[in-house]
Structure 1
Amino acid sequence: MAASRIDSFDDPTAPKANSLVPSVNVVVVNEAGDILLIRRSDNDNWALPGGAMDLGESLPDAGIRETLEETGISVEITGLVGIYTDPRHVILYTSNGEARQEFSVVFTARPIGGQPTPSDESREVVWVSPSDVQQLTMDRSMRMRLEHYLGQGETPHLG
């Protein structure tokens, strides 16, 4: 059986969190206003590119690195969508039993080079019109992040 990621929200049967890892997601928007999305290889859901911050790097640098690794697109960070730390959101990684409490900062970015290219973590990499996002299968937390971006005012989401 392949390793997978299982997201749970406010589920009393979910495993108790046993780790907390600073992570990042990036809303990359091209000149046409399309959003860069990946189809994850671990759960087949659509998502924003992103991942865990490594020791020795800043969170914006992690966003730039993770976006390039997962999509083939080089980016420049341009802003902040929000901070997501809801302890009711637990992510189980079946490969090692890690049950991670959500801790993600979501940035905006613009592409500065590269071509959409899948990786070990992404089955597909596509530019999606904001009007088409609602049709895609994604975890509720990822959909919420995109909805916050699309409806965002001046203040980032804090929660």
Structure 2
Amino acid sequence: MSAPKHSVSVAGIIVNQDGRVLLTQRRDNDNWEPPGGVLELNETMEEGLRREVLEETRLHVSVDQLTGVYKNMARGIVAVVFRCTPRAGSLSPTDEVKRLNWATLDEAALMVPPVYFVRVRDAFSGRARFRAHDGVTIFPSS
């Protein structure tokens, strides 16, 4: 029997001094999401997150706190999400991202698919959350 395979991704809920969240519109599917991506084998979570954010937004960030761990049960992807603060750089579209937007929580709720918006909302809850979903719907906590 072989061991199950999982992919680990990281995402950053980047919050500016006005309390707005940075969202990226992906080129591959047009979805608005927090920036992030797959963690490489030789990276810590913080290193991978800083790399992904820089690649997608051109921003340097500080990684402030873990806000949630989310498992896509259908695809075997575990996403580790952190709240971040922008430090330097200038926002710019990239090969992966066609638009960027600083959004209020109310705006983000309308822009981001619900399974990703819960990650944004959880980053403002004050404690880390652990959730499972099927790629569309968050499962009730047990």
| Normalised TM-score (structure 1) | 0.75
Deviation per residue, 1:48-73 (Å, 9 max, x gap): 00001112110111111100100011
CA RMSD of aligned residues (A): 1.6
Residue 43 of structure 2, aligned match among 54, 57, 64: 57
Report the residue type matching 1:126 in the other structure: N
> Quick one: which of 100, 118, 131 aligns to 1:125?
100
Is the Cα contact below 8 Å between 1:75 and 1:113 reproduced in 2? yes
* 8 A Cα contact 1:116 1:126, kept in partner: no
1:37 pairs with one of 23, 39, 47:
23
Is the aligned partner of 1:144 residue 2:130? no
Equivalent residue runs for 1:94-105 within 5 Å: 101-105=76-80
* 4+ residue runs over 3 A deviation: none
Is the Cα–Cα contact under 8 Å of residues 69 and 130 in structure 2 kept in the other structure? yes
* 3-state SS of paired residue (2:12): strand
**How much identity, in percent, do the aligned residues show?**
30
Q: Which whole-Å CA distance do the structure 2 matches of 1:135 and 1:24 have between them?
A: 23
Count of aligned pairs between the two proteins: 128
Amino acid at match of 2:29: N
For 1:63-142, what aligned pairs fall within 5 Å after superposition?
Answer: 63-88=49-74, 90=75, 101-136=76-111, 138-142=112-116
C-alpha displacement at 1:19, in angstroms?
5.0
Alignment of 1:8-47 (within 5 A): 19-47=5-33
